[in-house]
Amino acid sequence: MIAIIDYDAGNIRSVEKAFTFLSEEPVITRDPELLLRAEKVVLPGVGNFGDAMGNLQRYELVDVIHEIIDQGTPFLGICVGLQLLFESSEESPGVPGLGILKGRIRRIPEGEGLKIPHMGWNSISIREGGRLLKGLGSEPYVYFVHSYYLDAADKSVVSARTWYGTEIDAAVEKGNLFACQFHPEKSSAVGLKILSNFVRLEGA
């Protein structure tokens, strides 16, 4: 069973539809027992970092997420779901993230010809050896919607990068933990391949 964490974040239904297209039967839930029993867990999200963390705390999901990851369940963060895994965000000063991985979320710098939020297709440069982005070919295009980006402290966990006014850590991978700033559920065939890779992963 694939469980999608329900914490009132945007884009949950699009993620559900993408997995359903892959002949999976995802469950949208905030039930701790169901989340801890799931074979795979997804933390999607579109929205404000501080609001998202507040919702995770309100629904008492912070410790649950830590436990899911600690027990080796494959876990996928998408967009804000990636950002929440890190320590802090310039979007919400003073609000700590989950702190599962080290790094900060920074605002995309202003630049000539750059529109913020960054909305659209960008190619990503993939590091070899990763499991989530396996088989995507050379610099595939994926769909982004964001004003803030990851600056990971430990670059060894970064599985893909892109450039939009600055170098952006676009995806990370560490053990059973995976996350991407872009939206695989909106990234056409490439995105479906990524989600298919996630479905086929085995836990620790």
Is the dihedral angle over the CA atoms 162, 192, 102, 4 positive or is it negative?
Answer: positive
79 an active-site residue?
yes
Q: Which residues contact 56 (CB under 8 A, 6 or more apart)?
A: 7, 62, 65, 84, 98
d(CA 144, CA 127): 19
CB 49 within 8 A of CB 105: yes
Q: Are 132 and 198 in contact (CB under 8 A)?
A: yes
Give counts: helices (H), strands (E), the chain. 6, 13
Catalytic residue of the set 16, 91, 118, 183 = 183
183 has catalytic annotation:
yes
| Radius of gyration of the chain measured on its C-alpha atoms | 15
Catalytic (active site) residue 112: no
Q: For the chain, how many residues are written?
A: 204
- Active-site hit among 110, 167, 185, 202: 185
Determine which one of 16, 79, 91, 180 is catalytic. Answer: 79
Annotated catalytic sites, by residue? Answer: 79, 183, 185
